[in-house]
Structure 1
Amino acid sequence: MTAPAQGRPRGGGGAPPRSADVRKRDALELLGAARHAWVASGGGDGPHLIPLACVWDGTRVALSTRAGSRTVRNLRRLGRVRLAFGSAVDVVLLDGEVAITAPGDVPAATRDALAALPLDPERVPGCVYLFVTPRRVQAWRHLGEMADRVIMTDGRWVV
């Protein structure tokens, strides 16, 4: 195994670390394009990880699932969640507060954006919306970006 060249980050093919501004822009672009997120929650049964369809409205992530699911039970108890987007070489982790909302409680203006979800609680009985408001966001592509990976903290962009 060969040591990385001095001054070059390991991983990422030697690419220089992106600035925080660029990582924020790239993270927002990824959130806007993402149609699925890994949803991590925990409860009495231990950790739980499941992919769910999602849409980003510019300020929060909306997902939908069955009201009686293990995910919803965990989120009702905890009120917070971790979402993962991207791939192992373009990671965005979003920790946030979750609001579980019945279809009838969603404002009409928001419903159009939610129609893109394949499991639409408006059409599928027994489903709810999960609205996740980001509190902390991390983004990185390689080890050279790990030290400065936090781009949002306490609900505020650090850039």
Structure 2
Amino acid sequence: MTIMEPARPREQRKQDVLDRLTKDDDLWAATASPDGRPCLVPLSFLWDRGTLLMCTRRTNATARNLTPAGEVRVSLGHTRDVVLIEGTAELVEGAELATESADAFAAKLGGWDPRNGTAWVYLRITPRTVKAWREENELADRELMRDGAWLV
């Protein structure tokens, strides 16, 4: 039998989301091709200036699916502690990424630095919506960000 914990206040959920964005290493990124074919991949990330910064090969479906629309959905956590973010992603060439961001990304990934590799591109996701919940008792107030603005 699962014992449900009391629902967290929205302020606490926002803080928990920010903690995960700072401390977690990986997320699941979902995109779709122009004909609607889904693609779901794990990617390492950095929470950077209110955006998610990731990297992938420019030839991978994830990078290809982001042009021209740039729509993406990412998820952190397991099924009993979900953070779901929808936003717009832009491709950023390594040479165009701010040095501070590239250095922080490389440091978080244990020194891997893709900015000089032509096979790689960065993906910068600007969140539009953020939802977070653990159990059914948090579903009603799961929306924490709408239209890019925190609600709490």
Q: Is this a same-fold pair by TM over 0.5?
A: yes
Give the superposition deviation at 1:20.
0.6
User: What TM-score results when the alignment is normalised by the length of structure 1?
Assistant: 0.87
Q: Indicate the percent of aligned positions where both proteins have the same amino acid.
A: 37
Point out where structure 1 has 5 or more consecutive residues left out of the alignment.
3-10
For the 8 Å contact 2:93–2:115, the answer to whether it is kept is no
CA contact (8 A) 2:95 2:116 kept: no
Larger Rg computed on CA atoms: 1
Q: 1:8 — aligned with what? A: none
Alignment of 1:72-83 (within 5 A): 72-83=63-74
Q: Deviations over 1:2-36 (max 9, x none)?
A: 9xxxxxxxx6x221111110000001101111111
Root mean square deviation, CA, Å: 1.7
Q: Verify: 1:37 aligned to 2:30, yes or no.
A: no
Amino acid at match of 1:73: R
TM-score when normalising by structure 2:
0.91
Is 1:64 the counterpart of 2:49? The answer is: no
Tell me which of 98, 106, 117 is aligned to 2:89.
Answer: 98
| Cα drift, residue 68 of structure 1 | 1.0
Matches within 5 A, 1:12-27: 13-27=3-17
- Does the 8 A contact of 1:120 with 1:127 survive in 2? no
Contact 1:64/1:120, CA 8 A, preserved across alignment: no
The answer to whether the aligner puts 1:134 opposite 2:124 as a matched pair is no
Q: Decide whether aligned partners of structure 1 residues 106 and 18 sit closer, same or farther in structure 2, where only a CA change above 3 A counts.
A: same
In structure 2, the partner of 1:5 is none
What is the CA-CA distance between 1:123 and the residue it aligns to?
A: 4.7
The C-alpha deviation readout for 1:49-108, integer Å capped at 9, x for no partner, is: 010111112401100000111111101132110000011111000101111000010122
The 8 Å contact of residues 46 and 54 in structure 2, kept in 1 or not, is answered as: yes
Q: Who is 2:109 aligned against?
A: 117
Q: Distance between the aligned counterparts of 2:113 and 2:16, measured in 1?
A: 28
Gaps of 5+ in 2: none
Which position in structure 2 is the counterpart of 1:148? Answer: 141
Inter-partner Cα distance in structure 1 for 2:118 and 2:14: 37
SS in 1 for 2:6: coil
